[in-house]
Structure 1
Amino acid sequence: MKRCSYPTDILLADDNLSKRRRLEADTINDHSTSNVVNDPTLYSEAIFHLPTTRLNHEDGIVPSYGHLNNESSSRVTVSNGCLHDSNTVQQTTVTTTVLPETTRGEVVTGSISIHQGDLIAEDTDVIVVCRSSRTIRESVLEAGGYLMKLSYNNELNNSSTDPVISIAATGQVCARKAYFLAWKPSVDADTLRQSVSTFICDAMSKAASENVRSIAFPAIGCGGYGCTISLIAQTMVEAISQQLTLYPMAVSVVTQSDRTDVCNEFRKQVNLFQSTSQTESVALGIGTGMIEVQMGDITQQNVDVIIGSSSSRILRRSIMSAAGADVQMAYGDQCEKNPSALIVSLQPGRLPCKQIFFVKWQPDSDEKLLQQSLIDFVWTVIQNVISYKYTSVAFPAIGCGNHACSVDLVAKTIINEIKHQLNIRNIPLSVKFIVLPGRQNVYDEFSKQVVSLNEDSRSSISRILPSNWTQSADNSLRCLVPFNTQEYNSIANDFDQTMNGRYTSILRIERIQNVRWFVQYFAHSREFNKRLNENTERRLYHGCSHSAADSIIQDCFNRSFAGTHGATYGVGLYFSSNAAYCSRFCEANLNGERCMFVARVLIGRATQGDRSIRSRPIGFDSTTDGNHIFVVYHDAQAYAEYLITFK
């Protein structure tokens, strides 16, 4: 039910007399309201005459009351309770992620949509307002009118410890409710990430407690606060996606109408999150045991035991929600009976595992204390797994989320301690580390640490690197291959054979020496060889611009840019054995120079591709045109070995 606290006449445009109603709004002077029933069955459209207001503020949303012009009175339509400018059709780009959640036997879905618009005009159950942003706060309250201001002030003055102020929306605010939450930016990236995640978590958990079906967030920090847009977008998308596994609902992120860059960055992060959500893993045998790193959902792991940390509220909620109400009650009872226990052991409820262990652990800012706490954490888990005679366990990447611990320190400490425990105990234990989809940096670091442990083939990082790599004084990622050497001639001759005379000269050949990227590629290569029992690596070409080449060398191939030159055989990374074909995509710089990568690509099992394919088809590793083109769907499935610059 909507309330109007401003003077206006409302004309119902539905000609059905049985549904026609006369509604009147009292003036703001006597602070009274009349009710406008927000029911689409009562009318098809209502016509409002509203004042125009446009403000700037820190959160990237300009509340323009429906994007009106500068006239003192403008025609705005309300369809199903949402404000629209009758003279403007707003272009909206939406990207949706659907995440299944099982509740009481049925499948429930959640979604994320990204679009440019006006938070005040969002037709949703709840809009979220950063109350630390004075401009957005006051503009929403002004649009809501006297009653909304009064409700907000009353709630603010209460001594409640709830981080969310929840009040009914009135006046021109199209949502049913508004949540006001405090948030403060930070120049420290880890602190900023944690504060954004907490902001999302608090809002969505409150929404779930009130049975909210839809909620809209602003792109916090992307306006006057000057936060890094990519970091904000990545963190918000990851936090929302994680919360959707607990609380399925429709989530919108509304960005400022004239900030296409912000909207595009959010869309990019959603696409990236989707593309990395497919199951990937790196595994290594240690004695009779096994260590594996995998992206996925820890609650879906078919192992004997899954591990939770008592200090991680988000992880605990995720496990409890998936396990069911009985497990939640059992956890509360055990914590009440023995609050000092190091470990709480629970039945799995609805989970596929046999047992749940919640282990007491707290991070520490002191690196030595943090390392010791992680070692103790691992020892406690292994000791209890052995006592239960279990043979498989799944760990989360503890400390790498909201706690914002150093990812490399956590990964190195935990992986080394697991290796130590497997060696000294000589037990056939399978240990999984499950990383949340979208956290590629965490997955990469844990995978790197696993690969570095490979003592069977003496494959420490220094030993798995190619023998022709050379050390440069400045650790450059690009190393010039000397002219007329065997290495140079081999690359040049292969290039010449498939270019079919479409170039005049090779200016230089550079070897790419990106250790982090190569370690990831090496891990994938081992997994492919083990799974397929054959070497499916191919040396293929990839053409691009010089600026794209610089980005690829620094940050690997990136599927978020897939489709720039078409996606005939799937939305992925394109390679070809035909250099002449790839030269079509080599853009010349101001000097007329072009560049092309020679890449090592893991083809695996390939199948015919088409435009509809967005991730690797089940049972296959790549798609193809059946001739010379191959498309892969994981960034580390290919390694750019050389860069040829030519004219």
Structure 2
Amino acid sequence: TPVTRTLQEKMYQAYDFQFGQVVVQLVAGDIVKQECDVIVNSVDSSYNLNLGKISASIYKHVDKQVQQECHQNRIDGCDYFRLTSAGSLPCKWILHFVVPDDLQEMSDSFLQLLQYADSDALQAKTIAVPCLGMGNQRKKLESVILFFRDSIQCFTCFGSVKCIQYIKIIIQFVKLLYHAVKKNHATTKILTNLPKTWDLTGKPKYLNFVNPQSEEFKAIENRLATAVPTISDIKIERVQNESLYRLYSVKKQEVLLHLQSDRVAEMDLYHGSPNYETIAGTYFNRGYAGATGTLYGKGTYFATELQTAMKHCDRQDGYYTVILATVLTGNYTKGYGNMRDAGVNKDGVLYDSSVDNESNPKFFVVYHDASAYPKYVVTFT
């Protein structure tokens, strides 16, 4: 009947969103019918393909060899997914993904999965993904949307995408998901004005020397001299990473929405790392958490005092190189060693960072790669 045809048309319609050069499609349909390079399967840590609704559906279309591959094909450095052939499915490969319980860990591991699919190993142009986390884990729709958005934003903003052109998210209730994603995706379209101090002439580069005669230089010089009066021979480089700056600005808007009245959204803090050039060109990667300790959480650490950052920074020929960053400290709580995110308070208000001491913090720890922007790289003796 005409009514039935209309319902079928609505069921199988798709909605598109643009993330950089990648098109994300919300598609109502069946994961096993997707004609693409890679499909993602949701499995538990045993990698038993007969367990779970999505995995069991896929298992009906593959043979025992795929199950054997799933047990055997470990990928170095990838703890949450494995690659197999696809049996009789209309795709080339299956990436079997163990969905972590923690949302931040879920986002990080899915980002790693996208990077692997995009790498020379697979060179995938299209990838289909079920709506992860809404099955046995029963995560809220809004949490799943934020997970997909953050992962795909990071994938398209940090570094160049080599191959992937389309990411299909397969779900039954596509219209509900569309309206929710549209609301959240609007934040990615905020028109962020770049800082007026940036030099946008010539070929773009991440590190740009600041003129020692400028007010910009003198303000930072005075800040450093106040912190450590004995420093001299100061060189300041401004970080101009447009992708990270825009992503940081979007994250700042989220922090402002739930900021408590007695907190400030952001602070200028110090970070010591020998990898300052990599950070300037990419972001503060929480994958390195633990390199200098995880006493107050497994995130990226920032110090209120310059001397603290100097203990962990790059040192060559008597010169120290430290990053002066702007950090979304927002609502914060006391941190502890096993924290993977800052959590929420008793009223359900999000924490944005953890600290060593709530009344007088010396350390701030953030758990999102867009929660800090490296404004300046400063070298001095």
Q: TM-score range by the shorter chain?
A: 0.5 to 0.7
Cα shift at 1:563: 1.4
Candidates 72, 94, 103, aligned match of 1:217: 72
Residues 100 and 106 in structure 2, CA contact (< 8 A), matched pair in contact too: no
Residue in structure 2 matched with residue 555 of structure 1 by the alignment: 282
Asked whether 1:476 is paired with 2:331, we answer no
**Aligned counterparts of 1:599 and 1:273: Cα–Cα separation in 2:** 24
Which consecutive residues of structure 2, in runs of 5 or more, have no partner in the other structure?
Answer: 1-41, 50-59, 84-93, 111-125, 156-162, 170-176, 346-350
1:152-167 equivalence runs, <5 A: 163-166=62-65
Candidates 570, 592, 596, aligned match of 2:318: 592
Which consecutive residues of structure 1, in runs of 5 or more, have no partner in the other structure?
Answer: 1-100, 102-108, 113-123, 127-160, 167-177, 182-202, 204-215, 221-228, 246-269, 279-310, 324-349, 354-392, 412-428, 435-445, 455-459
**Aligned counterparts of 1:524 and 1:242: Cα–Cα separation in 2:** 27
**Aligned counterparts of 1:317 and 1:618: Cα–Cα separation in 2:** 23
Residues 103 and 147 in structure 2, CA contact (< 8 A), matched pair in contact too: no
Cα shift at 1:566: 1.2
Candidates 430, 433, 436, aligned match of 2:181: 433
Q: Deviations over 1:320-346 (max 9, x none)?
A: x669xxxxxxxxxxxxxxxxxxxxxxx
The amino acid across from 2:180 in the alignment is: K
Residues 272 and 559 in structure 1, CA contact (< 8 A), matched pair in contact too: no
1:210-289 equivalence runs, <5 A: 216-219=71-74, 236=82, 239-241=95-97, 273-274=105-106, 276=108
Residues 188 and 250 in structure 2, CA contact (< 8 A), matched pair in contact too: no
**Aligned counterparts of 2:130 and 2:287: Cα–Cα separation in 1:** 28
Cα shift at 1:554: 1.6
* Equivalences, count: 275
Residue in structure 2 matched with residue 644 of structure 1 by the alignment: 378
Cα shift at 1:530: 2.1
Q: Deviations over 1:569-608 (max 9, x none)?
A: 222111112101211112313x333210111011111122
TM-score, length basis structure 2: 0.59
Q: Deviations over 1:482-515 (max 9, x none)?
A: 00211001111111211253x3431x10110101
**Aligned counterparts of 1:395 and 1:450: Cα–Cα separation in 2:** 12
Cα shift at 1:536: 2.2
| Distance change in 2, residues 1:322/1:625 (3 Å) | closer
| Distance change in 2, residues 1:478/1:410 (3 Å) | farther
**Aligned counterparts of 2:279 and 2:212: Cα–Cα separation in 1:** 24
The amino acid across from 1:240 in the alignment is: H
**Aligned counterparts of 1:317 and 1:572: Cα–Cα separation in 2:** 24
Asked whether 1:491 is paired with 2:347, we answer no
Candidates 611, 615, 638, aligned match of 2:337: 611
Asked whether 1:505 is paired with 2:233, we answer yes
Residue in structure 1 matched with residue 249 of structure 2 by the alignment: 522
Residue in structure 2 matched with residue 346 of structure 1 by the alignment: none
Residues 81 and 97 in structure 2, CA contact (< 8 A), matched pair in contact too: no
Residues 397 and 433 in structure 1, CA contact (< 8 A), matched pair in contact too: no
Asked whether 1:537 is paired with 2:266, we answer yes
**Aligned counterparts of 1:483 and 1:352: Cα–Cα separation in 2:** 52
**Aligned counterparts of 1:635 and 1:527: Cα–Cα separation in 2:** 14
Q: Deviations over 1:144-178 (max 9, x none)?
A: xxxxxxxxxxxxxxxxx964345xxxxxxxxxxx9
Residues 236 and 378 in structure 2, CA contact (< 8 A), matched pair in contact too: yes
Residues 272 and 312 in structure 2, CA contact (< 8 A), matched pair in contact too: yes
Candidates 465, 468, 471, aligned match of 2:194: 465
**Aligned counterparts of 2:378 and 2:280: Cα–Cα separation in 1:** 13
1:31-430 equivalence runs, <5 A: 110-111=44-45, 163-166=62-65, 179=67, 203=70, 216-219=71-74, 236=82, 239-241=95-97, 273-274=105-106, 276=108, 315=130, 405-406=164-165
| Distance change in 2, residues 1:634/1:397 (3 Å) | closer
**Secondary structure of the structure 2 residue equivalent to 1:524:** helix
Asked whether 1:623 is paired with 2:359, we answer no
The amino acid across from 1:489 in the alignment is: K
**Aligned counterparts of 1:474 and 1:111: Cα–Cα separation in 2:** 47
- Higher relative contact order (Cα pairs below 8 Å, separated by 6+ residues): 2
Cα shift at 1:397: 6.7
| Distance change in 2, residues 1:351/1:646 (3 Å) | closer
TM-score, length basis structure 1: 0.36
Q: Deviations over 1:346-379 (max 9, x none)?
A: xxxx9988xxxxxxxxxxxxxxxxxxxxxxxxxx
**Aligned counterparts of 1:585 and 1:521: Cα–Cα separation in 2:** 24
Residue in structure 1 matched with residue 54 of structure 2 by the alignment: none
**Secondary structure of the structure 1 residue equivalent to 2:267:** strand
The amino acid across from 1:614 in the alignment is: R
**Secondary structure of the structure 2 residue equivalent to 1:544:** coil
Give the alignment's Cα RMSD to 1 decimal.
4.6
Residues 395 and 431 in structure 1, CA contact (< 8 A), matched pair in contact too: no
**Secondary structure of the structure 2 residue equivalent to 1:111:** coil
| Distance change in 2, residues 1:352/1:477 (3 Å) | closer
Residue in structure 1 matched with residue 189 of structure 2 by the alignment: 453
Residues 451 and 519 in structure 1, CA contact (< 8 A), matched pair in contact too: no
* Max Rg structure: 1
| Distance change in 2, residues 1:567/1:486 (3 Å) | same
| Distance change in 2, residues 1:487/1:243 (3 Å) | closer
The amino acid across from 1:580 in the alignment is: Q
Cα shift at 1:644: 0.1
**Aligned counterparts of 2:341 and 2:310: Cα–Cα separation in 1:** 26
Cα shift at 1:524: 1.2
Residues 268 and 327 in structure 2, CA contact (< 8 A), matched pair in contact too: yes
